[in-house]
Amino acid sequence: MIRLAIAATVLLGAGWVVGMSPGQKESRGAQQVLKHIVLYKFKDTLTTAQVDEVITAFKALPSKVPGIIGFEAGTNVSKEGKSDGLTHSFVVTFASVADLDTYIAHPAHQDYVKIVKDRREKVVVFDYWVK
């Protein structure tokens, strides 16, 4: 336990932020970023191909929409049983609210929404600032 605490202190002191992927650093005094989290529970009637189409379309957005400075996607692996049926997570990072607004209104995002809107049973969207 003490070794873990020491390791965490060393990593944080070196500029590593808990929750970031390996190789991704945040320097001290860095500007805040806006995280846009989208969580889905897809309809049970969807095929694997239909879910994959949604995932592929979402993953393509960073190459189509300006202002996206980070993107992550994954499926739920929690063993706590508190996901309320949500299975897929997408985290899109922006430098500003204006960039998020551009993303939401962008035609590529609107095309994506057309693909996903009738395939999801539940969606949660949550935005927050991180330093």
Cite the active site residues: 103, 106
- Residue 99: both structure tokens together: 């960039």
CA-CA distance, 1 to 3, in Å (whole number)? 5
**Structure tokens that stand for 32 in this block:** 């805040």
Which residue type does 56 have? T
Q: Which of 101, 103, 95, 93 is nearest to 32 (CA)?
A: 95
- Distance in angstroms (rounded) separating the CA atoms of residues 6 and 67: 37
Cα–Cα distance for residue pair 25/15, rounded to 1 Å = 6
Structure-token match 């001290």, residue found: 28
